[in-house]
Chain A
């Protein structure tokens, strides 16, 4: 089953441009679809957005106009791929439903990566982050029931639990404490580089999404919650992007990006439950193989190195969306009270953390707390979808309040 993308040629570049009819994809059903199909769509959108923005940055730093032309050509195709992927999301779903799906991606993708990551420092970074995404899912789910009168279970199904994680109010750290130490490009395992790129891209797209849809809401609590969690996405992008060795050359980074796209399309082609969507993953894999091939040629010419020096000899095990409930409960039990200090992790609320908290809270409860209080006032309890028993952290078990009638 091993697959080495370097050994395959894809669709020639001059045959990759799609016409309007081909771009006009039919969206998935907002209710009848496998939630993990939606997760794969959201993931690949994030990957394509990163491909496009990375290529723009590269072009802005590129002195050779011939290279800029080639980047522009491939980038246009990546833009078409982004359109074909993201337009699979149905217009009938609200932005808040898509938000809940984004958080399901963040939870189950980051948990999977944390489980598979061989490097302990990198693994810790994913374990730390996933407990925050997990709490965001819970906060947005409470907002969803209040303003859309529907339970988040209808979106995430029984695949992902909706219970409190590390409380969102504690995610607001001093920005300098979000910077991690990078892996070493010469010694890191190829899979570690792919993991970092994948999670960075997914979080970056989440950040972009919240930046833009937050003000579309009229309800004050919705607008405020998007601001709060949007700022934490800024922290997460900082956290994950700093894991990537900034000493990689532009050519090496381009090759890693294209290789990662091949890896993810291959993974999703292998694991997709919807045959129509699987065909899209397969088509895009065949496009990406050619993009990778061209990137490898650039690396050989300009870096005077063989791409094989930095890439895995074959694709790692496919990235898989699957329930991670037990793993997440274990992390809740052991890592709920962590924060960061410098590039490490500590349990105490240190001075810089407290100073940031004071500056931001202004003596009031943040939106992430108020959304739960408001839900309790209206419904008597917070909203949870708990499938595997009591919350592992006693202080985070459900309280009931008397509803005023």
Chain B
């Protein structure tokens, strides 16, 4: 029994770095969950993992990487390395999705994806996130956080009653379509912020 606190960290004042680190931890734990679950539970956990990866990677691609490019020395090169890792991970994810969670090749493929994603997350924390707070003020970090939340709303990782069918729609489609849908939602919020 863990006698702590609420299941999710409060996001009342969380800035973009806290939010994204929190998502890294959720992704990490979801991988373990997919690996240890079986049958329907595995399929369900994998669907949640796909949604969370879509939310997370999209937010990073549209919000964080451009900010890193502008604000960090050698930002272009650092971001290019991250994008290459993300492309590779998306391809692996698409392959796993087409295999399905019951396929005998699913778990070995998932293990490879997991290592790639954990390393990618570690690189972001070490080479990008830690510099964001140096280069951007609290307001800028908060408005970036708002965009990350928009992405979450476009693909809820914990569907509420009533939104379940929408979440199921998203989960059933190919991961690439989900990534695009999250991207559209974030871009539209960015346009609103810019007004």
Give the interface of A toward B (CB within 8 A): 30-32, 91-92, 94, 145, 147-151, 153-154, 218, 378-387, 398, 403, 405
Contacts and interface: CB of A to CB of B under 8 A. Distances in A.
A386 B9 contact: no
B32 A380 contact: no
A395 to B, nearest CB: 17
A32 B35 CA distance: 10
Interface string B108-142: 00000000001101100100001001000000000
Contacts of A381: 3-5
Interface string B1-45: 111111001101000001001100100110110010000000000
Contacts of B122: 91-92
Nearest to A385: B2
Contacts of A94: 125
A392 to B, nearest CB: 15
Contacts of B9: 145, 149, 378-379
Contacts of B28: 30-31, 150
Interface of B: 1-6, 9-10, 12, 18, 21-22, 25, 28-29, 31-32, 35, 118-119, 121-122, 125, 130, 133
A383 B1 contact: no
Given A149-B21, A405-B12, A383 B29 contact: no
Contacts of A151: 2, 4
A31 B21 contact: no
A314 B43 CA distance: 54
A145 B4 contact: yes
A218 B10 CA distance: 21
28 contacts: A30-B28, A30-B118, A31-B32, A32-B32, A91-B119, A92-B118, A92-B122, A94-B125, A145-B5, A145-B9, A148-B21, A149-B9, A149-B22, A149-B25, A150-B29, A218-B130, A379-B5, A379-B9, A380-B5, A384-B3, A384-B4, A385-B3, A385-B4, A386-B1, A386-B3, A387-B1, A398-B3, A405-B12
B108 to A, nearest CB: 14
A31 B24 CA distance: 13
B2 A380 contact: no
A382 B3 CA distance: 9
Contacts of A383: 4-5
A383 B130 CA distance: 25
Contacts of B31: 31
A153 B2 contact: yes
A150 B9 CA distance: 9
Q: Identify the interface centre among A149, A218, A382, A405: most chain B CB within 10 Å of its CB.
A: A149
A398 B1 CA distance: 14
B2 A384 contact: yes
A398 B3 CA distance: 9
A381 B18 CA distance: 19
A45 B32 CA distance: 27
Contact of B18 (A31, A149, A380, A384): A149
